[in-house]
Amino acid sequence: MAASKKKTPKKTARRGARAMTPAQAARILDILEKTYPEAECALHHRNAFELVSATILSAQCTDQRVNMVTPALFARYPTPAALAEAQPAELEAIIQSTGFFRSKAKSLIGCARALVADHGGVVPRTMAEMVKLPGVGRKTANVVLGHAYDIAEGIAVDTHVLRVSNRLGMARGDDPIDVEQQLMAIVPKARWTRTTDLIIFHGRNICDARRPACGSCPLFALCPWRDKQAFANRVS
């Protein structure tokens, strides 16, 4: 057996960083609520099965692209039982434009088979059961539990949530699990699902990765990000 390579640890919260208080987090979320009352899960779905499938497809892919693919996907495979019997080549052809289609097809079929074999074709309602499904991690589980079942077991942390929460000082670090725990510590459970939607909307509309519109940001006065002034002074 070849010697295993030593993994480089992910960055976690910076030592000495001042933690945000629940009151400060609430003020930020209140402003985002007023700014984005329409914020919701962007993945089109009619039930938990469709949402878990769409979320698996959304890895390294835009929600818009996923929404273009899922109508044909669910027309061909409307239930876990149907998807469990899918031929990989046929499924791959349907989802190819979402990228990484071979691994995603494997996850979709594996997830569907697990749903049929272990849950009677029904998406489970607990984090412990969700993360056992092929292709499902905490982020996907949080999305499905929160939006399909209105069950808050955590906060879904994607690239938008990582970026925006760090810039706003709500969390520190680039490990999704660590950032999720930091957010859960300052946000009341009743707002966990909503927090993801609001921060994602803000990340897409204002707090872009490369060209954030800091000059138009409703959180500018509260944001501690050191580069905000430079972007606020930029002229499009």
As a whole number of Å, the CA-based R_g of the chain is 19
The Cα–Cα gap between 139 and 46 comes to 19
Is 158 labeled as catalytic in the residue annotation?
yes
Which of 104, 139, 197, 228 is catalytic? The answer is 139
What is the per-residue pLDDT for 6?
39
| Nearest residue to 170 (alpha-carbon basis) of 18, 11, 15 | 18
Identify the CATH number of the domain defined by range 22-36+154-225.
Answer: 1.10.1670.10
Tell which residue, 142, 144, 181, 175, has the closest CA to residue 159.
175
pTM confidence score: 0.88
Nearest to 55 by CA among 129, 155, 168, 140: 140
Q: Classify residue 127 by burial, with Cβ atoms within 10 Å: 0-12, 13-18, 19+.
A: middle
What pLDDT is recorded for position 11? 44
Per DSSP, the residues of 60-106 read TS-HHHHHHHHHHHHHH--SHHHHHT--HHHHHHHHGGGSSHHHHHH
**Residue limits of CATH 1.10.340.30 in the chain:** 48-148
At 47, which helix (H) or strand (E)? none
Q: Is 139 an annotated catalytic residue? A: yes
pLDDT of residue 18: 66
DSSP state of 136: -
pLDDT of residue 69: 98
Where does CATH 1.10.1670.10 sit in the chain?
22-36+154-225
Taking the C-alpha atoms of residue 235 and residue 93, their distance in angstroms, rounded to an integer, is 43
> Catalytic one among 6, 30, 158, 227?
158
Query: Around Cβ 133, how many Cβ atoms within 10 Å?
Result: 24
Mean pLDDT in each 10-residue stretch from start to end of the chain (236 residues)?
40 55 98 97 97 97 97 98 98 98 98 98 98 97 98 96 98 96 98 98 96 97 96 77
Q: Which has the closest alpha carbon to 134: 190, 179, 80?
A: 80
Which fold, 48-148?
A: Endonuclease III; domain 1 (1.10.340)
Dihedral (C-alpha) 33, 37, 43, 46: value to the nearest 10 degrees?
Answer: 120
